[in-house]
Amino acid sequence: MAGFLVAATFILLPAFIALTLLAKTGDMKFRAQEASRYAAWEKTVWKSEGHAKGDTEIGWEVRNRVFARAEAALDSEKDKLSEDNQSLDTMAYTTYGDERGRRPMLANLSDGNSGVQVNTTALAPGGTLATLNEKAADILKLESKGYRQASVQISLIRPNQDYLPIEPLTMDTRYVLLDDAWNAGSPQRARESIRRLVPTTLLDSDVIRTIQSIVGFVFDDLSPENFQLGKVDVEVAPCQRLARYEKGKTDAPKACLE
């Protein structure tokens, strides 16, 4: 009996606490990796730095989205602020910290600190190929910013030293994404980029349209309303996507017949 008590006190209990903390630490590591992917993605979908979110705002979004409960509602305005924060996920809490009670695993979490340090930078490709790519992109007015790197650092609280005499852990994750991976931040940007590759755009002028109007009296298909030089439609959709199919019928919707 005495041997069991000794084993339970010095072996089984610390092992149980260690396994619990190991599971929670693994979950925090996974969330830190997800946070770096989220931060990198946020930096690839903005046209200019003037409209982009800052690293501090992304840090709060990570805290309110990545480290929050799965059922937590998303709020595009509040999530990037230090007010009305979401409740953290259950795995982000522990009762085996250096302080008594149920505490968040994030060491630096407070009303003014998200507990998540985010640092994003732009990486430019190098080499001869990058130089040629830069020149081609300049001629075609295409995006050539390179890549976005996001680094996320989170510090975990110190475990209870009576059971686990180890130093607190700090997790660093990094993720890199191709900048402006959507290629066009808006339909207008897509239209402008494509028009530079359409040869008939060179003929799109007031003079040519006046000639088209004159010729259009005889040949209606050549009028500027019917034959638009350099026209680019970036929102074309298959006709079957413009109306619902009727249940039980295999014919194309009416939109395909118009």
DSSP string spanning 201-254?
GGG-SHHHHHHHHHHHTT-GGGSTTTS-TT---TT---GGGSSPPPTT--SPPG
**Are 75 and 191 members of one domain?**
no
**Are 161 and 225 members of one domain?**
no
Residue 104 domain-assigned (yes or no): yes
Residue 220 domain-assigned (yes or no): yes
**Are 231 and 158 members of one domain?**
no
Domain count, the chain: 2
Let me know: does 176 contact 36? Beta carbons within 8 Å. Answer: no
**Are 109 and 196 members of one domain?**
no
**Are 43 and 157 members of one domain?**
yes
**Are 109 and 26 members of one domain?**
yes
The whole-angstrom separation of Cα 52 and Cα 135 is 26
Let me know: does 125 contact 143? Beta carbons within 8 Å. Answer: no
Which run of H or E residues covers position 4?
helix 2-7
Percent of the chain with pLDDT over 70: 72
Say what the pLDDT of residue 174 is. Answer: 92
pLDDT at 79 over 60: yes
Let me know: does 133 contact 120? Beta carbons within 8 Å. Answer: no
Condensed to tens digits (0 to 9), the pLDDT of residues 101-151 reads 788 888 877 777 888 889 988 877 666 767 777 777 777 666 666 678 899
Angle at CA 86, nearest 5°, toward 43 and 108? 75
**Are 93 and 164 members of one domain?**
yes
The per-residue pLDDT of the chain, averaged, comes to: 76
Say what the pLDDT of residue 37 is. Answer: 92
Residue 124 domain-assigned (yes or no): no
- Please state the pTM of the whole predicted model: 0.62
**Are 162 and 225 members of one domain?**
no
Say what the pLDDT of residue 256 is. Answer: 59
Residue 136 domain-assigned (yes or no): no
Residues 6+ apart with CB under 8 A from 2: none
**Are 30 and 90 members of one domain?**
yes
- Can you give the residue range of the structural domain that contains 232? 187-256
Say what the pLDDT of residue 233 is. Answer: 79
Residue 137 domain-assigned (yes or no): no
**Are 49 and 99 members of one domain?**
yes
Let me know: does 121 contact 152? Beta carbons within 8 Å. Answer: no
Say what the pLDDT of residue 36 is. Answer: 93
The whole-angstrom separation of Cα 61 and Cα 75 is 9
Say what the pLDDT of residue 33 is. Answer: 93
Residue 127 domain-assigned (yes or no): no
**Are 109 and 40 members of one domain?**
yes
pLDDT at 182 over 50: no
Q: Any idea which of 14-23, 112-121, 211-220 has the lowest mean pLDDT?
A: 14-23
Residue 125 domain-assigned (yes or no): no
Strand partners, 131: none
Strand partners, 26: none
Q: Any idea which of 159-168, 202-211, 221-230 has the lowest mean pLDDT?
A: 159-168
Residue 43 domain-assigned (yes or no): yes
The type of residue at 120 is T
